[in-house]
Amino acid sequence: MAEWKLHSMPKKPTRRRIVCPTRSEDVSLPKLEPRSERSEPSPLCTEPSPVRDTVRGRAVEKARSSPTAAAPLTVTVRAMYFSNDGTQADTGSQVTLQVWTSSTVEELLGSVRDAVGCSKGRLLFRMRPLPDPSATLEMCGVHRDPSALHLLISRRFRPQEVIEKAQAEAAELQVAMTMAAAEAAARPKKRRNPQPSQQSPREVVEVSPEELS
């Protein structure tokens, strides 16, 4: 016969009660004074190390007493006169100035304008404008390529010598183009080789031996 087993019901987990000790009424807790009223510093706040302050002070004094030394710099600036109608820009005079690496863009711009003799124009470095007038030439990288400077001026401020030079160059260009066209017209034309015509296939004629005898 089969035996039947009865499973007992699982026991419910019992919770352990934690009893906190109670404070008696006669015992009083110590009072904490505010931080502003304490005469002695907190042990958690460590005082700055005198060695660290000395080293930091020396570094600050050294940075103040020895700024970046300015070096002399020779720059070359070429004047360019442009127009908005798409005409090729005319090149003007070239000036060479002695400045410092600590000189600002505004100072260099004033010196270049005085040397060129025009109160207009803006500076270009590597064909890009220098936007910050208070930046030094060393910050802009001018000391790495001091000959890549241009003063861009409107074409209406061209001096007379620049106008005459531009007219002479245009006349020379026109003469050269006329001569090239005349030489091309006098040159004999090349003849093209005729294409071979399509030949008809040869006709095959049958001859009897009697006709050959």
Residue 132's domain comprises 72-157
Give per-residue pLDDT as tens, 21-62.
666 666 666 666 665 555 555 444 445 555 455 545 554 444
- Tell me which of 131 and 106 has the higher pLDDT: 106
CATH code, 110? 3.10.20.90
Average pLDDT over residues 195-211: 60
Q: Which residues contact 38 (CB under 8 A, 6 or more apart)?
A: none
51 domain-assigned: no
- The whole-number pLDDT of residue 129 equals 93
Give per-residue pLDDT as tens, 75-105.
999 999 988 877 788 888 899 999 999 999 9
Q: Which residues contact 178 (CB under 8 A, 6 or more apart)?
A: none
Q: What is the pTM of this model?
A: 0.51
193 domain-assigned: no
Q: Please, are residues 129 and 151 in contact by the beta-carbon 8 Å criterion?
A: no
Give per-residue pLDDT as tens, 144-174.
999 999 999 998 888 888 888 888 888 888 8
Give the chain's domain count. Answer: 1
179 domain-assigned: no
Average pLDDT over residues 2-6: 56
129 domain-assigned: yes
85 domain-assigned: yes
Q: Which residues contact 68 (CB under 8 A, 6 or more apart)?
A: 102, 138
Q: Please, are residues 90 and 166 in contact by the beta-carbon 8 Å criterion?
A: yes
111 domain-assigned: yes
37 domain-assigned: no
What is the helix (H) or strand (E) element at residue 154, kind and residue range? strand 149-154
190 domain-assigned: no
